[in-house]
Amino acid sequence: MLCELVQRQGGLARANRPEGAPLDRRSFVMCALASGVALGELAMPAVASPSSLSSQSGPQAQSDAQFVVEAKFYDKLQNKKIKCKLCPRECNVGDKERGYCGVRENRGGVYYTLVHSRVCAAHIDPIEKKPLFHYLPGTVAFSIATAGCNVNCKFCQNWDISQSRPEQIPADYAPPQRIAALARQNNCPTIAYTYSEPVVFSEFLMDTADAGHEAGVRSIVVSNGYIQQDALKQAYGKMDAVKIDLKSFTESYYEKVVTGQLKPVLDTLVTLRKMGKWTEIVYLVVPTLNDSDTEFRGLAQWVKANLGADVPLHFTQFHPEYLLKNLPITPVPTLERAKAIADAEGLHYVYIGNVPGHPAQNTYCPQCRKMLVERLGFTASSLLIRKDGTCPFCRHQIPGIWHV
Protein backbone atom coordinates (compact mmCIF):
# COMPACT_ATOMS: atom_id res chain seq x y z
CA MET A 1 0.00 0.00 0.00
CA LEU A 2 1.27 3.49 -0.74
CA CYS A 3 2.62 5.35 2.24
CA GLU A 4 0.23 7.78 3.87
CA LEU A 5 2.02 11.11 3.79
CA VAL A 6 0.17 12.66 6.68
CA GLN A 7 0.59 10.59 9.82
CA ARG A 8 -1.44 11.50 12.90
CA GLN A 9 -0.70 10.02 16.29
CA GLY A 10 -3.35 8.26 18.35
CA GLY A 11 -6.57 6.64 17.25
CA LEU A 12 -5.47 5.58 13.78
CA ALA A 13 -5.16 1.97 14.83
CA ARG A 14 -8.77 1.47 15.79
CA ALA A 15 -10.71 -0.49 13.20
CA ASN A 16 -13.71 1.85 13.37
CA ARG A 17 -11.72 4.95 12.42
CA PRO A 18 -14.25 7.79 11.86
CA GLU A 19 -15.23 8.39 8.27
CA GLY A 20 -13.37 11.20 6.56
CA ALA A 21 -9.94 10.43 8.03
CA PRO A 22 -7.12 8.69 6.15
CA LEU A 23 -6.89 5.02 7.11
CA ASP A 24 -3.38 3.74 7.75
CA ARG A 25 -2.23 0.23 6.80
CA ARG A 26 -2.59 -1.17 10.32
CA SER A 27 -6.12 0.19 10.56
CA PHE A 28 -6.98 -1.24 7.17
CA VAL A 29 -5.63 -4.66 8.14
CA MET A 30 -7.48 -4.59 11.47
CA CYS A 31 -10.70 -3.55 9.78
CA ALA A 32 -10.31 -6.24 7.13
CA LEU A 33 -9.58 -8.89 9.72
CA ALA A 34 -12.52 -7.74 11.86
CA SER A 35 -14.70 -8.09 8.78
CA GLY A 36 -13.42 -11.57 7.97
CA VAL A 37 -11.95 -10.48 4.65
CA ALA A 38 -8.97 -12.18 3.12
CA LEU A 39 -6.37 -9.52 2.37
CA GLY A 40 -5.28 -11.38 -0.72
CA GLU A 41 -8.66 -10.76 -2.28
CA LEU A 42 -8.11 -7.01 -1.98
CA ALA A 43 -4.84 -7.12 -3.92
CA MET A 44 -3.22 -4.71 -1.49
CA PRO A 45 0.25 -3.56 -2.63
CA ALA A 46 3.20 -3.26 -0.30
CA VAL A 47 3.95 -0.07 1.58
CA ALA A 48 6.02 2.32 -0.51
CA SER A 49 8.22 5.24 0.36
CA PRO A 50 6.73 8.77 0.10
CA SER A 51 8.78 9.42 -3.03
CA SER A 52 6.84 6.67 -4.85
CA LEU A 53 4.10 9.17 -5.53
CA SER A 54 6.39 11.58 -7.26
CA SER A 55 7.30 11.30 -10.91
CA GLN A 56 10.39 13.44 -10.31
CA SER A 57 13.25 13.43 -7.85
CA GLY A 58 15.94 15.81 -6.73
CA PRO A 59 15.76 19.58 -6.19
CA GLN A 60 13.21 20.18 -8.95
CA ALA A 61 10.72 17.83 -7.27
CA GLN A 62 10.85 20.04 -4.18
CA SER A 63 10.36 23.32 -6.05
CA ASP A 64 7.11 25.13 -5.36
CA ALA A 65 6.97 26.35 -8.96
CA GLN A 66 5.73 23.01 -10.29
CA PHE A 67 2.64 23.23 -8.06
CA VAL A 68 1.62 26.71 -9.26
CA VAL A 69 -1.09 26.89 -11.93
CA GLU A 70 -3.38 29.77 -12.82
CA ALA A 71 -6.74 29.42 -11.11
CA LYS A 72 -9.85 28.87 -13.19
CA PHE A 73 -12.48 30.69 -11.16
CA TYR A 74 -11.78 34.37 -10.48
CA ASP A 75 -12.38 37.89 -11.78
CA LYS A 76 -9.70 40.52 -12.26
CA LEU A 77 -10.32 43.85 -10.51
CA GLN A 78 -8.56 47.21 -10.53
CA ASN A 79 -5.20 47.79 -8.85
CA LYS A 80 -4.09 44.19 -9.35
CA LYS A 81 -6.83 42.88 -7.08
CA ILE A 82 -8.93 39.82 -7.83
CA LYS A 83 -12.26 38.39 -6.69
CA CYS A 84 -12.28 34.62 -6.21
CA LYS A 85 -15.33 32.96 -7.76
CA LEU A 86 -14.67 29.44 -6.53
CA CYS A 87 -16.62 29.37 -3.27
CA PRO A 88 -19.34 31.56 -1.73
CA ARG A 89 -16.79 33.59 0.24
CA GLU A 90 -15.80 35.47 -2.92
CA CYS A 91 -12.53 36.61 -1.35
CA ASN A 92 -11.23 39.96 -2.55
CA VAL A 93 -7.49 39.37 -2.67
CA GLY A 94 -4.84 42.02 -3.05
CA ASP A 95 -1.51 41.58 -4.79
CA LYS A 96 0.81 39.14 -2.97
CA GLU A 97 -2.03 38.01 -0.72
CA ARG A 98 -3.98 34.76 -0.38
CA GLY A 99 -7.63 33.89 -0.02
CA TYR A 100 -9.26 32.38 3.07
CA CYS A 101 -8.29 28.84 2.08
CA GLY A 102 -4.58 29.72 2.10
CA VAL A 103 -3.84 27.78 -1.09
CA ARG A 104 -4.61 30.47 -3.69
CA GLU A 105 -2.42 33.52 -4.17
CA ASN A 106 -2.63 36.75 -6.14
CA ARG A 107 0.60 37.42 -8.00
CA GLY A 108 0.50 40.70 -9.85
CA GLY A 109 -3.22 40.54 -10.53
CA VAL A 110 -3.22 36.89 -11.65
CA TYR A 111 -4.69 34.33 -9.26
CA TYR A 112 -2.90 31.03 -8.83
CA THR A 113 -3.54 27.72 -7.10
CA LEU A 114 -0.48 26.58 -5.16
CA VAL A 115 -1.57 22.96 -4.78
CA HIS A 116 -1.87 21.52 -8.27
CA SER A 117 -0.30 18.04 -8.08
CA ARG A 118 0.83 18.83 -4.50
CA VAL A 119 -0.36 15.66 -2.79
CA CYS A 120 0.03 15.60 1.00
CA ALA A 121 -2.00 12.43 1.65
CA ALA A 122 -2.46 9.34 -0.49
CA HIS A 123 -3.96 6.02 0.46
CA ILE A 124 -6.08 3.13 -0.74
CA ASP A 125 -9.43 3.09 1.06
CA PRO A 126 -12.57 0.97 0.88
CA ILE A 127 -15.27 2.91 -0.93
CA GLU A 128 -17.53 2.28 2.07
CA LYS A 129 -15.23 4.50 4.15
CA LYS A 130 -16.06 7.65 2.17
CA PRO A 131 -18.89 6.65 2.81
CA LEU A 132 -20.55 5.74 -0.46
CA PHE A 133 -22.90 2.79 0.00
CA HIS A 134 -24.62 2.79 -3.40
CA TYR A 135 -21.47 3.18 -5.50
CA LEU A 136 -19.40 0.11 -6.43
CA PRO A 137 -19.64 -1.61 -3.03
CA GLY A 138 -16.69 -3.78 -2.11
CA THR A 139 -14.21 -1.84 -4.25
CA VAL A 140 -11.34 0.41 -3.20
CA ALA A 141 -10.48 3.98 -4.13
CA PHE A 142 -7.11 5.60 -4.66
CA SER A 143 -7.62 8.51 -2.26
CA ILE A 144 -5.66 11.77 -2.39
CA ALA A 145 -5.66 15.22 -0.84
CA THR A 146 -3.82 18.50 -0.86
CA ALA A 147 -3.61 21.04 1.96
CA GLY A 148 -6.34 23.57 2.62
CA CYS A 149 -10.05 24.09 3.18
CA ASN A 150 -12.58 26.88 2.69
CA VAL A 151 -14.26 26.38 6.08
CA ASN A 152 -12.97 25.64 9.59
CA CYS A 153 -15.14 22.96 11.21
CA LYS A 154 -14.51 22.74 14.93
CA PHE A 155 -14.82 18.94 14.75
CA CYS A 156 -12.49 18.39 11.77
CA GLN A 157 -10.80 14.97 11.82
CA ASN A 158 -8.07 16.15 9.45
CA TRP A 159 -7.43 19.65 10.76
CA ASP A 160 -3.69 19.10 10.49
CA ILE A 161 -3.89 19.20 6.69
CA SER A 162 -7.14 21.09 6.11
CA GLN A 163 -6.10 24.05 8.24
CA SER A 164 -2.49 24.19 7.04
CA ARG A 165 -0.91 26.17 4.26
CA PRO A 166 0.69 24.00 1.59
CA GLU A 167 4.25 24.95 2.51
CA GLN A 168 3.68 23.89 6.12
CA ILE A 169 3.26 20.16 5.49
CA PRO A 170 5.18 17.51 3.52
CA ALA A 171 3.91 16.80 0.02
CA ASP A 172 4.97 15.11 -3.19
CA TYR A 173 4.66 16.15 -6.81
CA ALA A 174 2.04 13.82 -8.28
CA PRO A 175 0.63 15.06 -11.59
CA PRO A 176 -2.73 13.81 -12.90
CA GLN A 177 -1.36 11.16 -15.25
CA ARG A 178 0.75 9.74 -12.41
CA ILE A 179 -2.29 9.50 -10.12
CA ALA A 180 -4.30 7.75 -12.83
CA ALA A 181 -1.48 5.29 -13.49
CA LEU A 182 -1.09 4.51 -9.79
CA ALA A 183 -4.82 3.90 -9.46
CA ARG A 184 -4.71 1.38 -12.31
CA GLN A 185 -1.54 -0.28 -11.00
CA ASN A 186 -3.21 -0.78 -7.61
CA ASN A 187 -6.48 -2.14 -9.03
CA CYS A 188 -8.51 0.88 -7.91
CA PRO A 189 -11.46 1.51 -10.22
CA THR A 190 -11.85 4.96 -8.70
CA ILE A 191 -9.83 8.01 -7.67
CA ALA A 192 -11.26 9.77 -4.60
CA TYR A 193 -10.62 13.41 -3.74
CA THR A 194 -11.01 13.51 0.01
CA TYR A 195 -9.51 14.08 3.51
CA SER A 196 -9.20 17.89 3.19
CA GLU A 197 -11.59 19.92 0.98
CA PRO A 198 -11.48 19.23 -2.76
CA VAL A 199 -13.22 22.52 -3.55
CA VAL A 200 -9.93 24.33 -2.94
CA PHE A 201 -7.99 22.09 -5.34
CA SER A 202 -10.60 22.07 -8.08
CA GLU A 203 -8.12 22.59 -10.93
CA PHE A 204 -6.09 19.56 -9.87
CA LEU A 205 -9.29 17.56 -9.37
CA MET A 206 -10.54 18.42 -12.86
CA ASP A 207 -7.27 17.57 -14.58
CA THR A 208 -6.91 14.33 -12.63
CA ALA A 209 -10.47 13.27 -13.41
CA ASP A 210 -9.76 13.80 -17.11
CA ALA A 211 -6.56 11.76 -16.89
CA GLY A 212 -8.37 9.06 -14.97
CA HIS A 213 -11.19 8.79 -17.45
CA GLU A 214 -8.67 8.49 -20.28
CA ALA A 215 -7.10 5.59 -18.36
CA GLY A 216 -10.46 3.95 -17.57
CA VAL A 217 -10.52 5.10 -13.93
CA ARG A 218 -13.54 6.86 -12.44
CA SER A 219 -13.56 9.80 -10.01
CA ILE A 220 -15.54 10.63 -6.89
CA VAL A 221 -15.38 13.61 -4.57
CA VAL A 222 -15.95 13.85 -0.81
CA SER A 223 -16.86 17.48 -0.24
CA ASN A 224 -18.51 20.05 2.00
CA GLY A 225 -20.42 21.31 -1.05
CA TYR A 226 -19.46 24.92 -0.26
CA ILE A 227 -18.86 25.99 -3.85
CA GLN A 228 -20.28 28.43 -6.38
CA GLN A 229 -22.60 27.12 -9.03
CA ASP A 230 -20.39 27.65 -12.09
CA ALA A 231 -17.40 26.01 -10.42
CA LEU A 232 -19.66 23.20 -9.20
CA LYS A 233 -20.92 22.44 -12.68
CA GLN A 234 -17.46 22.50 -14.22
CA ALA A 235 -15.50 20.68 -11.51
CA TYR A 236 -18.01 18.22 -10.10
CA GLY A 237 -19.47 17.75 -13.54
CA LYS A 238 -16.43 15.55 -14.14
CA MET A 239 -17.22 13.32 -11.16
CA ASP A 240 -18.86 9.88 -11.35
CA ALA A 241 -20.30 10.20 -7.84
CA VAL A 242 -20.37 12.78 -5.07
CA LYS A 243 -20.61 12.57 -1.29
CA ILE A 244 -21.64 15.81 0.42
CA ASP A 245 -21.13 16.51 4.11
CA LEU A 246 -24.22 18.39 5.21
CA LYS A 247 -22.95 19.63 8.55
CA SER A 248 -26.28 20.73 9.98
CA PHE A 249 -29.68 22.00 8.95
CA THR A 250 -29.42 25.44 10.60
CA GLU A 251 -27.62 28.59 9.52
CA SER A 252 -26.54 29.29 13.10
CA TYR A 253 -24.60 26.00 13.28
CA TYR A 254 -22.88 26.73 9.99
CA GLU A 255 -21.93 30.19 11.22
CA LYS A 256 -20.67 29.17 14.68
CA VAL A 257 -19.28 25.66 14.17
CA VAL A 258 -18.36 25.52 10.47
CA THR A 259 -17.60 29.17 9.60
CA GLY A 260 -19.69 28.79 6.47
CA GLN A 261 -23.27 29.00 5.23
CA LEU A 262 -26.01 26.41 4.85
CA LYS A 263 -27.86 27.73 1.79
CA PRO A 264 -24.99 27.32 -0.73
CA VAL A 265 -24.64 23.68 0.35
CA LEU A 266 -28.35 23.05 -0.16
CA ASP A 267 -28.07 24.73 -3.57
CA THR A 268 -25.18 22.38 -4.39
CA LEU A 269 -27.28 19.34 -3.56
CA VAL A 270 -30.17 20.54 -5.73
CA THR A 271 -27.83 21.27 -8.64
CA LEU A 272 -26.15 17.87 -8.37
CA ARG A 273 -29.58 16.28 -8.51
CA LYS A 274 -30.45 18.25 -11.66
CA MET A 275 -27.10 17.24 -13.18
CA GLY A 276 -27.93 13.59 -12.61
CA LYS A 277 -24.87 12.98 -10.42
CA TRP A 278 -25.09 10.07 -8.01
CA THR A 279 -25.02 11.78 -4.61
CA GLU A 280 -25.02 10.61 -1.02
CA ILE A 281 -25.32 12.81 2.07
CA VAL A 282 -23.54 12.48 5.41
CA TYR A 283 -24.83 14.27 8.50
CA LEU A 284 -22.40 14.12 11.42
CA VAL A 285 -24.53 14.13 14.58
CA VAL A 286 -22.79 16.25 17.23
CA PRO A 287 -24.29 15.94 20.74
CA THR A 288 -26.13 19.09 21.94
CA LEU A 289 -25.32 21.02 18.76
CA ASN A 290 -27.29 19.50 15.86
CA ASP A 291 -29.10 16.50 17.35
CA SER A 292 -32.66 17.72 17.89
CA ASP A 293 -35.72 15.92 16.55
CA THR A 294 -36.80 19.15 14.89
CA GLU A 295 -33.58 19.34 12.91
CA PHE A 296 -33.66 15.66 11.95
CA ARG A 297 -37.24 16.00 10.75
CA GLY A 298 -36.61 19.21 8.84
CA LEU A 299 -33.59 17.67 7.13
CA ALA A 300 -35.49 14.54 6.10
CA GLN A 301 -38.43 16.54 4.80
CA TRP A 302 -36.14 18.79 2.78
CA VAL A 303 -34.23 15.86 1.26
CA LYS A 304 -37.44 14.11 0.21
CA ALA A 305 -39.01 17.27 -1.24
CA ASN A 306 -35.93 18.56 -3.07
CA LEU A 307 -33.84 15.48 -3.89
CA GLY A 308 -36.19 12.53 -3.64
CA ALA A 309 -36.70 9.61 -1.28
CA ASP A 310 -33.95 7.49 -2.86
CA VAL A 311 -30.96 9.70 -1.97
CA PRO A 312 -28.96 7.87 0.73
CA LEU A 313 -28.66 9.76 4.00
CA HIS A 314 -26.00 8.72 6.53
CA PHE A 315 -26.28 9.77 10.18
CA THR A 316 -22.76 9.30 11.52
CA GLN A 317 -21.29 9.16 14.96
CA PHE A 318 -19.21 12.10 16.18
CA HIS A 319 -15.82 11.47 17.78
CA PRO A 320 -14.21 14.29 19.83
CA GLU A 321 -11.50 16.00 17.79
CA TYR A 322 -9.78 19.33 17.12
CA LEU A 323 -11.77 22.10 18.88
CA LEU A 324 -14.67 19.96 20.15
CA LYS A 325 -12.89 17.59 22.47
CA ASN A 326 -15.21 18.59 25.31
CA LEU A 327 -18.21 16.77 23.82
CA PRO A 328 -18.92 13.04 24.12
CA ILE A 329 -19.19 10.48 21.33
CA THR A 330 -22.68 10.50 19.87
CA PRO A 331 -24.85 7.92 21.70
CA VAL A 332 -26.06 5.18 19.40
CA PRO A 333 -29.71 5.74 20.52
CA THR A 334 -29.44 9.30 19.19
CA LEU A 335 -28.40 7.99 15.78
CA GLU A 336 -31.20 5.43 15.88
CA ARG A 337 -33.68 8.20 16.72
CA ALA A 338 -32.47 10.24 13.75
CA LYS A 339 -32.86 7.24 11.45
CA ALA A 340 -36.34 6.47 12.77
CA ILE A 341 -37.44 10.04 12.08
CA ALA A 342 -36.02 10.01 8.55
CA ASP A 343 -37.59 6.60 7.89
CA ALA A 344 -40.96 7.91 9.08
CA GLU A 345 -40.64 10.87 6.70
CA GLY A 346 -40.40 8.43 3.80
CA LEU A 347 -36.69 8.26 2.98
CA HIS A 348 -35.78 4.84 1.59
CA TYR A 349 -32.08 4.55 2.39
CA VAL A 350 -31.11 5.88 5.82
CA TYR A 351 -27.87 4.62 7.33
CA ILE A 352 -26.01 4.83 10.63
CA GLY A 353 -22.27 5.42 10.26
CA ASN A 354 -19.18 4.93 12.44
CA VAL A 355 -20.94 2.15 14.40
CA PRO A 356 -19.44 -1.10 13.04
CA GLY A 357 -21.82 -4.03 13.04
CA HIS A 358 -24.98 -1.97 13.37
CA PRO A 359 -27.76 -3.39 11.15
CA ALA A 360 -28.43 0.12 9.80
CA GLN A 361 -25.16 -0.12 7.88
CA ASN A 362 -26.72 -2.68 5.55
CA THR A 363 -28.81 -1.92 2.48
CA TYR A 364 -32.38 -3.26 2.40
CA CYS A 365 -34.91 -3.30 -0.41
CA PRO A 366 -37.57 -0.67 0.43
CA GLN A 367 -40.24 -2.87 -1.16
CA CYS A 368 -39.67 -6.42 0.15
CA ARG A 369 -37.32 -5.45 3.04
CA LYS A 370 -34.78 -8.16 2.20
CA MET A 371 -31.14 -7.37 2.94
CA LEU A 372 -29.27 -6.75 -0.31
CA VAL A 373 -25.86 -5.50 0.84
CA GLU A 374 -24.33 -6.60 4.13
CA ARG A 375 -21.51 -4.50 5.56
CA LEU A 376 -19.03 -5.32 8.28
CA GLY A 377 -16.78 -2.44 9.23
CA PHE A 378 -15.70 -0.77 5.99
CA THR A 379 -16.31 -3.90 3.93
CA ALA A 380 -19.29 -4.99 1.88
CA SER A 381 -19.24 -8.69 2.70
CA SER A 382 -22.12 -9.60 0.39
CA LEU A 383 -23.83 -7.99 -2.59
CA LEU A 384 -27.06 -9.48 -3.89
CA ILE A 385 -28.19 -6.67 -6.19
CA ARG A 386 -28.47 -7.84 -9.78
CA LYS A 387 -26.36 -6.38 -12.57
CA ASP A 388 -29.37 -4.44 -13.81
CA GLY A 389 -29.64 -2.78 -10.38
CA THR A 390 -32.73 -4.66 -9.22
CA CYS A 391 -33.57 -6.60 -6.09
CA PRO A 392 -33.22 -10.35 -6.79
CA PHE A 393 -36.28 -11.09 -4.66
CA CYS A 394 -38.91 -8.64 -5.94
CA ARG A 395 -37.19 -6.94 -8.93
CA HIS A 396 -37.55 -3.49 -7.34
CA GLN A 397 -35.04 -1.03 -8.84
CA ILE A 398 -32.37 -0.11 -6.29
CA PRO A 399 -30.81 3.24 -7.29
CA GLY A 400 -27.05 3.46 -7.39
CA ILE A 401 -23.97 2.38 -9.35
CA TRP A 402 -23.52 -1.22 -8.33
CA HIS A 403 -21.07 -2.88 -10.69
CA VAL A 404 -17.82 -1.84 -12.37
The neighbouring-strand residues paired with 124 are: 142
For the chain of 404 residues, list the mean pLDDT of each consecutive stretch of 10.
33 36 40 30 30 48 83 98 98 98 98 98 97 97 98 97 96 97 98 98 98 98 98 98 98 98 98 98 98 98 98 98 96 98 98 96 98 93 95 98 92
Cα separation, 146 vs 67, whole angstroms: 11
pLDDT at 53: 62
User: How do residues 346-387 score in pLDDT, each as one tens digit?
Assistant: 999 999 999 999 999 999 999 999 999 999 989 898 999 999
DSSP string, 46-106: PP--GGGG-S--SGGGG-GGGG-EE-SSEEE-GGG-EEE-SSTT--EE-TT-B-TTSSEEE
Cα separation, 387 vs 343, whole angstroms: 27
CA distances from 345 to 254, 297, 305 (A): 24, 7, 10
Are the C-beta atoms of 285 and 316 separated by less than 8 Å? yes
What values do phi and psi take at 78, rounded to 5? -70, 160
Cα separation, 20 vs 15, whole angstroms: 14
- Kind of pairing, strands 190-193 and 140-145? parallel
Element housing 147 (H / E): none
pLDDT at 49: 33
- Across 159-312, where does the E strand assignment appear? 172-173, 190-193, 218-223, 241-245, 278-285
What values do phi and psi take at 294, rounded to 5? -60, -45
55-64 burial, b for 16+ CB within 10 Å, e for fewer?
A: bbeeeeeeee
User: How do residues 327-348 score in pLDDT, each as one tens digit?
Assistant: 999 999 999 999 999 999 999 9
Q: What does the DSSP 8-state code read for residue 18? A: P
pLDDT at 21: 53
pLDDT at 32: 36
Q: Domains in the chain, ordered, with CATH?
A: 25-51+118-383 (3.20.20.70)
pLDDT at 404: 86
